[in-house]
């Protein structure tokens, strides 16, 4: 029993890694069994059995999703019998660029296109999360609260059937 969270991330200079570690710590504090994965370490079966998968990436080039995360999503989403139950998407970027945190939108697009439900809003972080860690922690908790909320709704439906 107990819910399980995976955090899959791509990071070049460490900002997204910091955010991923904050997400992981917050999940652990909330009592979830938690595991961190680098995007290029993920296999087709890595994420089986997780209730929620957080995906995090930096943005590269001209608003691009880095190749390691693109490959990771392709591996997970194309012809893979191991379904992702639910996902949440975050990333770091720099507002100096016109396509600010575009990788976040692209990850969300690929997941939705393959029918993976997204929990909560998309989280875009300017550079390092260090100065405002609570933004990441609050968002992580909102995602978890939404998962638990769905459980409560299911219980409610069962109760209704029993009284009918």
Ligand X SMILES: Cc1cc2nc3c(=O)[nH]c(=O)nc-3n(C[C@H](O)[C@H](O)[C@H](O)COP(=O)(O)O)c2cc1C
Listed ranges 26-34, 81-89, 97-105, 147-155: which one lies at the site for ligand X (CB under 6 A): 97-105
Pick the closer one to ligand X by CB: 32 or 65.
Answer: 65
How many CB atoms lie under 10 A from the CB of residue 26?
23
| 67 forms part of the interface with ligand X (CB under 6 A) | no
| 16 forms part of the interface with ligand X (CB under 6 A) | yes
Largest distance between two CA atoms of the chain: 59
Residues 121, 84 contacting (CB under 8 angstroms):
no
Instruction: Compute the C-alpha angle 158/34/135, nearest 5°.
Output: 90
Q: How far apart are CA 154 and CA 111, in angstroms?
A: 24
| 120 forms part of the interface with ligand X (CB under 6 A) | no
Listed ranges 7-15, 27-35, 43-51, 76-84: which one lies at the site for ligand X (CB under 6 A): 7-15
Which of 6, 11, 106, 116 touches ligand X (CB under 6 A)?
11
């Amino acid at each position: 029993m107990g819910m399980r969270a995976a955090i899959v991330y791509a990071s070049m200079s460490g900002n997204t890694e910091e955010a991923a570690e904050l997400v992981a710590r917050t999940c652990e504090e909330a009592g979830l069994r938690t595991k961190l994965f680098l995007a290029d370490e993920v296999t087709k079966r890595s994420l089986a059995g997780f209730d929620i998968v957080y995906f995090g990436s930096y943005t590269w080039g001209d608003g691009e999703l880095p190749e390691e995360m693109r490959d990771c999503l392709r591996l997970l989403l194309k012809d893979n019998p191991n379904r992702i139950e639910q996902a949440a998407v975050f990333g770091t970027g720099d507002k100096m660029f016109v396509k600010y945190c575009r990788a976040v939108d692209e990850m969300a697009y690929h997941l939705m296109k393959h029918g993976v439900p997204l929990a909560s809003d998309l989280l875009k972080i300017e550079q390092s999360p260090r100065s405002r860690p609570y933004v990441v922690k609050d968002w992580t908790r909102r995602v978890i609260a939404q998962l638990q909320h769905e459980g409560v709704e299911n219980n409610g439906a069962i109760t209704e059937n029993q009284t009918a």
